[in-house]
Structure 1
Amino acid sequence: MGTMARSALTTVYTRGVKPVIFRMHPDRVHDDMITYGSWAQRVTPVVAAAEALLAYEHPALVTEAYGLALRNPLGLGAGLDKNVAIPGILQATGFGFLTFGSVTSRVCDGNPRPWFHRLPAEESLVVHVGLANGGVERVAARLRDLAAHGSPRYTALPFTISIARTNDGLTGDVAEGVEDYVTSVRALDGLSPLIELNISCPNTMVGEAFTSPEALDRLLTAVDAAAPSQRIVLKMPSDKPWEAFRDLVDVALDHRVDGLTLANLRKDRDTVTMDPAVKGNLSGRPVRDLSTELVRRTYLHAGDRLTLAGLGGVFDGRHAYDKITAGATLVELVSGLIFRGPAVVGTIARELVALAQADGFDRVQDAVGSRADVPAALPS
């Protein structure tokens, strides 16, 4: 029943819903999704019914990461739900975990709109949000409220809060940036299983200030001293040469970092055809091979000392499986929901089981790193 329902829903989305919403501005679509989703998730039977149709459950999908037992290795990447507005809706799609944010220490208006631009032929979304969010205090209050009064369905799924440096006119030097991150870390202490430090958002006034080894070491030293109760994950840039990227990995290994998310938006836009006047960086397919190759090289370099999550251009089971066999324990997606629809998570989960079993693995997690010694094609 579930497979037939997901197939039917995918057809409805790609042939009916997607053509309609793709005629609307993506900023409006995103805002409407948050608004209507926050209303819809209050109807618990509807959310439960949606999850029954969309999610795919199988023992081979259960994944152990960060001391957690996840129902599958598929997670929502940061950026879709900045302020933890629609956890019930997102859980219903069948994810094994969710990432909210990125959130900043101060309320952040983000960059001037428009924030999004579609490249349908490239299966990419150009993103120029600039970390717009309601601030860490609002998110912390939301998490406390959900823990105290929310539906158990909203809080049952493991989740990560992604933290970034505030993007506003008060941004200062590296010391100010360190304090900005640490303020958020302290405000969120104990409110989530994981904290992701997003050091790689390219759409900000000061750029990626913590993607040099020296600055990253200062940041992680301060986070170590703050001693949050959560595990720490770094969200890494996508466009660094391997040698420079490896240096950042080595800094992470010297600190209390448990995992890496690979990787953020792609800054190189020469790979796509688009209006140069459009501001922003690339998600989706243009990031796919790049992120998979970073996963592979990082896995070979760091081994099991870091838990890797592959992010970028995951639209089907093969894309996810390629990241897993390259060394990713977890796989995240955002653009896949936009281009394939809400049934994509359950579809990928089912395809992962088939791919792993075809390779002789009893569990999907057993395939992690199984092809890490095979170089991928050069990222395009």
Structure 2
Amino acid sequence: MGTFARSAMTTFYTKGVKPVIFSMAPDKVHDDMITHGSWAQKVTPAIGAIESLIKYEDPALVTEAYGLTLRNPLGLGAGLDKNVAIPGILQMTGFGFLTFGSVTSRVCPGNPRPWFHRLVDQESLVIHVGLANGGVEKVAARLRELKAQNNRHYSALPFKMSIARTNDTHTGDVYEGVEDYVKSVRALNGLSELIELNISCPNTMVGEAFTSPENLDTLLTEVDKVAPSQPIVLKMPSDKSWEQFRELVDVALDHDVQGLTLTNLRKDRDSVTMDPAIKGNLSGKPVREMSTDFVRRTYLHAGDKLTLAGLGGVFTAEHAYDKITAGATLVELVSGLMFKGPAVVGTIAEGLVELAQADGFEKVQDAVGSRADIAVATD
């Protein structure tokens, strides 16, 4: 039933829904999704029924990470739901965990609109949001509200809260930036299963100050002092040489960082054809190979000292499996939902089991890093 339902929903989305929403401005589509989804998720019987139809569950998918037992290794990446507005809708798609944010210590209006632009033929979204969100205090209150509701259809999945430096005219030097992050870490302490420090948002007026080893060390030293109850994950930049990237990995290894999300948006736009007047950076397909390469190099460098999540251009089970065999325990996606529809998560999950078992693995997690040496050797 699940396979048939996912196939039917994918056909309905690609033939019926997608042509309509892709004819609309992507900013409006995103805003409408948040507005209508926040109401729709309150119909919990419907949420539960749809989830049971399109999700895919198999013991071979169960994944252990950060002391958590996840129903599968697939997660929503940060950026789609900044303020934890639609966790019930997102849970319905069959993810194993959800990432919300990035959230900042101060309310942040973001960059001037438009925030999104589609490159349909190149399977990419150009992102120029600039961390628009309601601020950490609002989001912390929202998380407390969700915990108080204790409704499994409203959100039963582990959360990862992504934190970034506020993007506004009040930003100062590196030490002000450290204080900005630390305020958010304190506010979210104990309110999610994981905290992600997004050090690599490229669409901000202050730039990526904490993608230098010295500044990252300063930041993590102060976060270590806070000692939040949740494991700390870093969201890493994409446009670095391996030597520069490795320096950041080594700084993380010197601190209480337990994982990395690889990678953020691609700043180099030479790989796509687009109007140069459009502002923003690339998601989706242009990030795919770059992020997988960083996964395998980091896995070979750090081994099991860090839990890796591969992010970027995951539209199929093969894309996800490439990241897993390169060394990613977890795989995240965002653009895949837009281009392939909500049933893509279950479709990928089912395909992962088939791919892993075809390679002789009992569980998908057993395949982590199994081709990392081969991949690097053929670069």
With the shorter chain as reference, the TM-score category is over 0.9
Question: Residue 167 in 1 paired to residue 167 in 2?
Answer: yes
Shift in Å at residue 152 of structure 1? 2.5
Aligned pairs (5 A) from 1:46-195? 46-195=46-195
| Alignment-derived partner of residue 219 in structure 1 | 219
Is the contact made by 2:34 and 2:81 (CA closer than 8 Å) also made in structure 1? yes
Shift in Å at residue 376 of structure 1? 5.7
- Separation in structure 2 between the aligned mates of residue 78 and residue 213 of structure 1, nearest angstrom: 23
- Separation in structure 1 between the aligned mates of residue 86 and residue 96 of structure 2, nearest angstrom: 16
Residues 115-124 or 154-163, more deviating: 154-163
Question: Residue 360 in 1 paired to residue 360 in 2?
Answer: yes
| Alignment-derived partner of residue 276 in structure 1 | 276
Question: Residue 307 in 1 paired to residue 307 in 2?
Answer: yes
Deviations 1:253-284 (A, max 9, x none): 00000000000000000000000000000000
**Partner-residue secondary structure (3-state), 1:233:** strand
Deviations 1:22-54 (A, max 9, x none): 000000000000011111100011100110111
Shift in Å at residue 133 of structure 1? 0.2
One-letter amino acid matched to 1:214: E
**Partner-residue secondary structure (3-state), 1:51:** helix
1:378/1:176 CA distance change after superposition, 3 Å: farther
Aligned pairs (5 A) from 1:244-283? 244-283=244-283
Shift in Å at residue 207 of structure 1? 1.0
| Alignment-derived partner of residue 28 in structure 2 | 28
Deviations 1:144-164 (A, max 9, x none): 011112522234211100000
RMSD value, Cα: 1.0
**Partner-residue secondary structure (3-state), 1:125:** strand
Residue correspondences, number: 379
Is the contact made by 1:197 and 1:232 (CA closer than 8 Å) also made in structure 2? yes
- Separation in structure 1 between the aligned mates of residue 154 and residue 197 of structure 2, nearest angstrom: 23
TM-score, normalisation: structure 2: 0.99
- Separation in structure 2 between the aligned mates of residue 145 and residue 97 of structure 1, nearest angstrom: 19
Runs of 4+ in 1 over 6 A off after TM superposition: none
Deviations 1:126-184 (A, max 9, x none): 00000000000000000001111252223421110000000000000000000000000
One-letter amino acid matched to 1:3: T
Shift in Å at residue 9 of structure 1? 0.5
- Separation in structure 1 between the aligned mates of residue 57 and residue 375 of structure 2, nearest angstrom: 32
Structure 2 residues without counterparts, runs of 5 or longer: none
- Separation in structure 2 between the aligned mates of residue 150 and residue 29 of structure 1, nearest angstrom: 29
Is the contact made by 1:6 and 1:54 (CA closer than 8 Å) also made in structure 2? yes
One-letter amino acid matched to 1:193: E
Residues 369-378 or 335-344, more deviating: 369-378
**Partner-residue secondary structure (3-state), 1:258:** strand
- Separation in structure 2 between the aligned mates of residue 378 and residue 182 of structure 1, nearest angstrom: 42
1:356/1:147 CA distance change after superposition, 3 Å: same
| Alignment-derived partner of residue 327 in structure 1 | 327
Shift in Å at residue 5 of structure 1? 0.5
Structure 1 residues without counterparts, runs of 5 or longer: none
| Alignment-derived partner of residue 296 in structure 2 | 296
- Separation in structure 1 between the aligned mates of residue 377 and residue 271 of structure 2, nearest angstrom: 15
| Alignment-derived partner of residue 43 in structure 2 | 43
Is the contact made by 2:91 and 2:155 (CA closer than 8 Å) also made in structure 1? no
